[in-house]
Amino acid sequence: MNDTTVTLVGNVATAVEYRDTAAGGVARFRFAVTARRWDRERGLWSDGNTSFYTVSAWRSLGANLAASVSVGEPLVVHGRLKVREEERDGQRKTFVDVDATAVGHDLSRGTAAFRRAARAEPKPQSEQDPWAVAAEEGTAVPPQLVTAS
């Protein structure tokens, strides 16, 4: 597949919204990217136009993003670029979305403390309680003969 991948550096523009869906959890937020250029004549940085993107992050990336990111924070977002057109109020509008594959704080503008997300490790079959497994699956556990030694 020939996806267009992009890396964007900017700021979180809206609160992260997290929703559980049939395909897994998804986090969405708007992301603002402003070009900055050095103005030699004035000796200052000047801001260019700001572009806004809707960023979506799925499954564990989405859950971790929702727990870690707030409005105004500087981020680096890497993902697949999606451009779509819709008609709203009789006008054709273009929207630019990014399906994120990686997101992180921009450490050139601050510090962060990483915490690894805990993952539930599946127990080996021999350690699983057959009654608990049956209750979760809604099945009956066949009776077993137990003898005292």
Cα separations in angstroms, 92 against 31, 41, 111, 118:
22, 40, 41, 45
Strand, coil or helix: 66: helix
Total Cβ atoms within 10 A of residue 75: 21
pLDDT at 66: 96
pLDDT of 139 over the 80 cut: no
pLDDT of 98 over the 90 cut: yes
pTM of the model: 0.74
pLDDT of 134 over the 90 cut: no
pLDDT at 18: 97
Q: Which of 19-28, 56-65, 122-131 has the lowest mean pLDDT?
A: 122-131
> Which residues are CB-neighbours of 66 under 8 A, at least 6 positions away?
16, 17, 18, 27
pLDDT in tens, 28-63: 999 999 999 999 999 999 999 999 999 999 999 999
- Which of residues 144 and 29 earns the better pLDDT score? 29
pLDDT of 128 over the 80 cut: no
pLDDT of 117 over the 90 cut: no
